[in-house]
Amino acid sequence: MKFLVMNGVNLNLTGKREKGVYGTATLEDINAKIAAYCKAQGDEADFYQSNIEGELVNKLHEAFLNKSYDAILFNAGAFTHYSYALRDAIAAIDIPVAEVHISNVHAREEFRHNSVLSEVCAGVVCGFGSGSYIAAIVGLKDKLAK
């Protein structure tokens, strides 16, 4: 199976910003862990990060039009809470998307409790640090096997 792992706004600073919330593993560390997990399962993963909403929309379109991935893991960062453009892009594509968060958004500020993406995602994982991405892979694989 081939996964696209997408990270949105500010996620490039993971491991360097708000370490008490997001931990000390960098995005590169997290991606290396995901790549190793996928390899061990006989799967593949590509990685993409952008701070720009339109670039993330373009990447989702590209994945859809090129039929290049079986499933997508997406941590949209703060875009999660207000980007109708990303929501519409996820709804437009026929690739299952898992919404992922490093932190437990439900144990944080109220504005983080709402996601405009969840409704159009295959599932949501949050609160397990880099383990959220791994759990999302497990969930997506299980869903695709059915």
Indicate the residue among 1 and 108 with the shorter CB distance to ligand DQA: 108
The contacts of residue 102 (CB under 8 Å, 6+ apart) are 14, 21, 22, 23, 75, 126, 128, 129, 130, 132
Indicate the residue among 39 and 55 with the shorter CB distance to ligand DQA: 55
Cβ 99 vs Cβ 92: under 8 Å = no
Active site residue 81: no
Cβ 145 vs Cβ 137: under 8 Å = no
Indicate the residue among 7 and 38 with the shorter CB distance to ligand DQA: 7
Shortest Cβ distance from residue 47 to ligand DQA (Å)? 15
Q: Phi first, then psi: what are they for 28, rounded to 5°?
A: -65, -40
Shortest Cβ distance from residue 44 to ligand DQA (Å)? 23
Strand arrangement, sheet containing 97-101: 44-49, 2-7, 71-75, 97-101, 123-126
Q: Which of 101, 106, 113, 133 is catalytic?
A: 101
Q: Which of 22, 37, 84, 113 is catalytic?
A: 22
Shortest Cβ distance from residue 145 to ligand DQA (Å)? 27
**Chain contacts with ligand DQA (rule: CB under 6 A):** 10, 75, 77-78, 80, 101-103, 105, 112
Indicate the residue among 1 and 15 with the shorter CB distance to ligand DQA: 15
Instruction: Name the E strands within 50-112.
Output: 71-75, 97-101
Active site residue 113: no
Shortest Cβ distance from residue 50 to ligand DQA (Å)? 13
Cite the active site residues. 22, 101
